[in-house]
């Protein structure tokens, strides 16, 4: 299957400051990608380059297999068939909802415009608000209108620049799932920029974790969490601790938690020292286990607690447990290892 968006070896920056370093990724038709990373990592510059607001220093960008950006050449943004949804939604306050959605449809006949507006408002669940003004809508409703407006002209690529950052935390993940469903219904190819991994997990098919202008790893949320390529990804995605270990065999390491076996093959020779990533879901709360640890801290997460535990040998680990297991600080609880994915890193 051909790529609808292809970014090859992209370098870009501002004035004399290089921001991106050989960024490469591609998306198939209908695929949702995400640039995920901390502030200043370059993810917004990737989006601006795809949109045509920044020119490539090196590399190229193709949309529908047509080069739109190479060093010395940049197709104007208005000719790239790009849709954009911004942080602040950028709705026109003096226009009603249906007029906002119609804004990009001036090339269609009036009857076609009205049909497409009605179709998009129905898809995003805002048909009943067609005659409302933006200030009369909630943030989530404004987000849906902005999405309908961006999708109405049937863009080749939809770009979403931190579209949920102004929302309440509880609403972000819900909206991300809703937007994903709408994009899948329309078979739209899209690129999301965010620093929030839960948004990325809820919405994207492929996630590019970025740091200092480079892609550290690209993959599904599952792979990034369970098979991080390096320490940065392991630290940025999810939670966990790094503990020392000795390689016993190609599929086993010896740690202070005990021997850890896995089907994953370790890229280190037996006897060598490595570091092992232990996630909270690798430690299971088990009252019948002979191993135990002291509760140092705990954080209530609704369905579960995240326990910060200290073992008798001083090792500190994290553990998820169902929230009806409400243990007190300094209480001793039973734990056991349940490691499905053995993630090791060479020692620094």
7-17 tens-digit pLDDT: 999 999 998 89
**Cα dihedral 62, 66, 70, 72 sign:** negative
CB count in 10 Å sphere of residue 178: 19
DSSP 8-state assignment for residue 225: H
* Per-residue pLDDT at 194 exceeds 80: yes
- Characterize the bridge pairing of strands 316-322 and 304-310: antiparallel
Rounded mean pLDDT of the chain? Answer: 92
Return d(Cα 142, Cα 131) in angstroms, integer.
13
* pLDDT value for 104: 84
Record the tokens describing residue 221, joined without a space: 């949320």
**Residue 292 burial (C-beta neighbours within 10 Å; 0-12, 13-18, 19+):** middle
The pair of three-digit structure tokens given for residue 280, joined into one six-digit string: 């909270």
User: How far apart (Å, rounded) are the C-alpha atoms in residues 231 and 158?
Assistant: 31
**Dist CA 189 CA 201 (whole Å):** 16
pLDDT tops 60 at residue 1:
no
Cβ atoms of 214 and 197 within 8 Å: the answer is: no
Mean pLDDT value of segment 193-198 = 93
Share of the chain above pLDDT 90, in %: 76
212-242 as b/e: b if 16+ CB within 10 A = ebebbbbbebebbbbbbbeebbbebbbebbe
169 class by beta-carbon count within 10 Å (0-12 exposed, 13-18 middle, 19+ buried): exposed
Biggest CA pair distance of the chain: 75
Confidence of residue 158 (pLDDT cuts 50, 70, 90): very high
Q: What is the DSSP letter of 320?
A: E
Confidence of residue 348 (pLDDT cuts 50, 70, 90): low
What DSSP assignment string belongs to 120-186? HHHHTT-GGGTT--GGGS-HHHHHHHHHHHHHTT--SEEEEESTTTTS-HHHHHHHHHHHHHHHHHH
Please state whether 343 falls in left (phi above 0), alpha (psi between -120 and 50) or beta: beta
Highest-confidence range of 31-35, 54-58, 101-105, 266-270, by mean pLDDT?
A: 31-35
Positive or negative: CA dihedral 233, 243, 267, 252: negative
Q: What is the chain's percent helix, strand, coil content, to nearest 5?
A: 25, 35, 40
This prediction has a pTM of 0.89
């Amino acid at each position: 299957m051909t790529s609808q968006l292809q970014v090859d070896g992209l370098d870009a920056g501002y004035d004399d400051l290089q921001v991106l370093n050989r960024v490469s990724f591609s998306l198939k038709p209908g695929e949702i990608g995400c640039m995920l990373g901390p502030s200043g990592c370059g993810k917004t510059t990737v989006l601006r380059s795809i949109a045509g607001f920044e020119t490539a220093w090196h590399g190229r960008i193709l949309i529908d297999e047509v080069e739109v950006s190479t060093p010395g050449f940049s197709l104007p943004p208005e000719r790239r068939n790009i849709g954009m949804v911004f942080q602040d939604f950028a709705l026109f306050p003096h226009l009603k909802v249906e007029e906002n959605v119609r804004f990009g449809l001036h090339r269609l006949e009036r009857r076609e415009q009205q049909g497409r507006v009605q179709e998009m408002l129905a898809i995003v669940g805002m048909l009943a608000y067609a005659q409302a003004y933006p200030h009369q809508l909630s943030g989530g409703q404004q987000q849906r209108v902005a999405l309908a407006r961006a999708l109405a002209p049937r863009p080749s690529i939809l770009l979403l620049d931190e579209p949920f950052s102004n929302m309440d935390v509880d609403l972000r993940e819900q909206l991300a799932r809703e937007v994903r469903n709408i994009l899948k219904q329309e078979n739209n190819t899209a690129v999301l920029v965010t620093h929030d991994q839960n948004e990325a997990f809820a919405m994207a098919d492929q996630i590019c974790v970025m740091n200092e202008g480079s892609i550290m790893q690209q993959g599904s949320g599952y792979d990034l969490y369970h098979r991080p390529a390096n320490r940065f990804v392991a630290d940025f995605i999810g939670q966990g601790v790094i503990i020392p270990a000795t390689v016993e065999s190609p599929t086993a390491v010896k740690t202070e938690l005990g021997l850890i076996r896995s089907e994953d093959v370790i890229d280190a020779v037996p006897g060598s020292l490595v570091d092992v990533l232990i996630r909270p879901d690798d430690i299971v709360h088990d009252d019948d286990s002979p191993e135990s640890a002291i509760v140092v801290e705990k954080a209530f997460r609704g369905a579960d607690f995240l326990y910060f535990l200290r073992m008798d040998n001083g090792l500190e680990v994290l553990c998820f447990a169902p929230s009806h297991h409400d243990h007190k600080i300094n209480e001793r609880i039973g734990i056991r290892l349940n490691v499905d994915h053995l993630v090791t890193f060479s020692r620094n």
